[in-house]
Amino acid sequence: MAKDRMSGAEIVLQALKDQGVSHIFGYPGGAVLPIYDALFGQNDVQHILVRQEGGAVHAAEGYARSTGKVGVVLVTSGPGVTNSVTGLTDALMDSIPLVCITGQVPTHLIGNDAFQECDTTGITRPCTKHNYLVKNVDDLARVLHEAFHVARSGRPGPVLVDLPKDIQIAIGSYIPPARVVHKSYKPRLKGDPVQIKRAVEILAQAKRPLIYAGGGVVNSGPAAAQLLAQFARVSGFPVTLTLMGLGAFPASDPRFLGMLGMHGTYEANLAMHGCDAMIAIGSRFDDRITGKLAAFSPHSRKIHIDVDPSSINKNVPVEVGIVGDVAHVLEDLIKFWKSTQAKPDAKALKAWWGQIDGWRARDCLRYQNSETIIKPQYAIQRLYELTKGRDDVFVTTEVGQHQMWAAQFFKFEKPNHWLTSGGLGTMGYGLPAAMGVQIAHPKALVVDIAGEASILMNIQEMSTIAQYRLPVKVFLINNQYMGMVRQWQELIHGGRYSESYMDSLPDFVKLAESFGAVGLRATKPSEVDGVIKAMIECPKAVIADIMVDPKENCFPMIPSGAAHNEMLLGPADKREQPISEDGMVLV
């Protein structure tokens, strides 16, 4: 064992090492220089130098989501912190485990408006799961180990440790991460057997059941996804997934109805509307899912499994709430299902599947393809078809139409391979997230399905990608508009395209080249396959600029303020008044 007296900065490095951290994402500055100095003299923890702190947080999110480990960020005080706030909020909304270590001015200057000072714990209190300001070097090791524990356990989330510069220099005691038993923080893993029993009773009586699973299944770990598949198999129930849940159930399974929600499939949304029993597993009845709350799944008895008690009965009251980790609860639920020999009404279930197949026959994702102009759906479909043989494909996205098309047309068989900003909807997430994924999986095919507006928000990270020779592929769905803004303006604001068109976009091929990457471009449908193949085969980073139909809209769509059974299926399905007055105020 090494010495147990060391500087605060050395304690940070030792704690990272003992927590099994191999990579951190960061950007130096005055208030973290002692930690950067400690980094310099060691090889256990590799630092990835980003180009803006926001990129570091999204990269750590990508790293965390694709590995199941805690992502680690190191930034300086003041602007380093404020630049990180978007990423921290993103991680909080999507339950991504992060530890963010921030430099702070020395303790005696706190509150004096010192250079690059900000109230870090104050600013980040609402956008972290928890945060700490360490004012005594002897607390530092315990706080760091506790931060990792809080970040990864229960409902995962970002935890911030603010570290004044004098604490980084002070000499203190190091303690190893012995089993952390927190005084007050004790997330519940096992579900209440009484509630699990009630859930099984309701599900066994169901005539039109539905499993509605979300990102909590992914966060619970690979076992949870396997148990979900097992439960679907033994029960014969249909499964729909949220945007964050994609991959938690194999897309190729005939029981899968596709994604639900605002841009979900017809069959998934009508099944939500028509079911008589619903089990929500690690999903949170977000407004993108429920649409109009008063008309949401009006005839169903509802069961909700979630590790976060505050998710239960927040938006939608449920009959049975089970607080616990998805894998633990599903394991008990399947055991109980089998031991009671639960047998749902086979005839009713068959009729239910018949109804679902009828909805499926509408083929809601169908679009009008073109021989002359690239349809964005076609481009993503081809990307999927030309990569589906591989099992090492990771997809990140930015935010907007391309994100929804990616969710609709790219099929995922396994969890942790789909990374998108679901809750916060952060434009600029995809490129740095892809970078983080590629760091964790150097040989994998990592594709950022991007929009040209979003990617410009963090385009500086192309320089990081170049520095670390990361073969990240950017599949740019370039429609020269903020497509989703344009779509809403068309549908809701009378086609007044206020500020949603971007003039003077860069030449993305030249931009790629200027960062030492390869630029490719497709302008007609016949060029798409060739560009995709060249992109995949290229050993370097690539920006594939896919010039798509600028006017294409993303369907199906539940207009804001509408119910699941009021979906718009396509451009021909326009209504007199697609949006109610109540819906106008919604986002």
Catalytic center residues: 53, 115-116, 165, 484
Residue 129 vs 360, nearer CB to another protein:
129
Q: Which of 20, 126, 298, 442 binds another protein (CB under 8 A)?
A: 126
Q: Quick check: 150 binds another protein (CB under 8 A)?
A: yes
CA atoms within 13 A on the CB side of 67: 27
Q: Quick check: 122 binds another protein (CB under 8 A)?
A: yes
Measured from the CB of residue 160, what is the shortest distance to another protein in angstroms? 12
Measured from the CB of residue 176, what is the shortest distance to another protein in angstroms? 22
**What are all long-range contacts of 555-558, with beta carbons under 8 Å and residues at least 24 apart?**
555/263, 555/364, 555/367, 556/263, 556/264, 556/265, 556/266, 556/269, 556/364, 556/365, 557/262, 557/263, 557/491, 558/261, 558/262, 558/263, 558/264, 558/269, 558/291
Round to whole Å and give the CA distance between 124 and 88. Answer: 8
**Binding piece for another protein, criterion CB under 8 A, among 49-57, 103-111, 117-125, 423-431:** 117-125
Measured from the CB of residue 284, what is the shortest distance to another protein in angstroms? 12
Which 451-490 positions form the footprint of another protein (CB under 8 A)?
Answer: none
Residue 185 vs 353, nearer CB to another protein:
185
Instruction: Enter the tokens of residue 356.
Output: 């679902």
DSSP class of residue 66?
Answer: H
Q: Which of 51, 58, 129, 304 binds another protein (CB under 8 A)?
A: 129
Residue 159 vs 275, nearer CB to another protein:
159
Residue 317 vs 571, nearer CB to another protein:
317
For tokens 């990423």, the residue is 87
Assess contact for 77 and 99: CB atoms under 8 A: no
Round to whole Å and give the CA distance between 48 and 466. Answer: 12
Secondary structure, 3-state, 75-125: ECCCHHHHHHHHHHHHHHHCCCCEEEEEEECCHHHCCCCCCCCCCHHHHHH
Q: Which of 67, 121, 355, 514 binds another protein (CB under 8 A)?
A: 121
Measured from the CB of residue 405, what is the shortest distance to another protein in angstroms? 33
Helix ranges (H only) for 423-494 are 430-440, 452-455, 462-467, 483-492
191: Cα separation from own chain's centroid: 25
Residue 124 vs 235, nearer CB to another protein:
124
**Binding piece for another protein, criterion CB under 8 A, among 80-88, 127-135, 331-339, 484-492:** 127-135
Instruction: Enter the tokens of residue 21.
Output: 């951290």
Q: 3-class SS at 305?
A: strand
Q: Which of 5, 108, 125, 574 binds another protein (CB under 8 A)?
A: 125
Residue 310 vs 369, nearer CB to another protein:
310
Residue 295 vs 445, nearer CB to another protein:
295
Measured from the CB of residue 313, what is the shortest distance to another protein in angstroms? 6
Round to whole Å and give the CA distance between 236 and 234. Answer: 6
Q: Quick check: 130 binds another protein (CB under 8 A)?
A: yes
Q: Which of 42, 108, 111, 182 binds another protein (CB under 8 A)?
A: 182
Measured from the CB of residue 431, what is the shortest distance to another protein in angstroms? 30
Residue 362 neighbours by CB distance under 10 Å: 14
Q: Which of 2, 178, 294, 346 binds another protein (CB under 8 A)?
A: 294
Residue 142 vs 263, nearer CB to another protein:
142
Instruction: Enter the tokens of residue 480.
Output: 């020269």
Round to whole Å and give the CA distance between 560 and 443. Answer: 41
Assess contact for 156 and 23: CB atoms under 8 A: no
# residues contacting another protein (CB under 8 A): 20
Q: Quick check: 184 binds another protein (CB under 8 A)?
A: yes
Q: 3-class SS at 304?
A: strand
Q: Quick check: 183 binds another protein (CB under 8 A)?
A: yes
Measured from the CB of residue 157, what is the shortest distance to another protein in angstroms? 10
Which 295-324 positions form the footprint of another protein (CB under 8 A)?
Answer: 308-310, 312-314, 317
Binding site for another protein (CB under 8 A): 121-122, 125-126, 129-130, 133, 150, 182-185, 294, 308-310, 312-314, 317
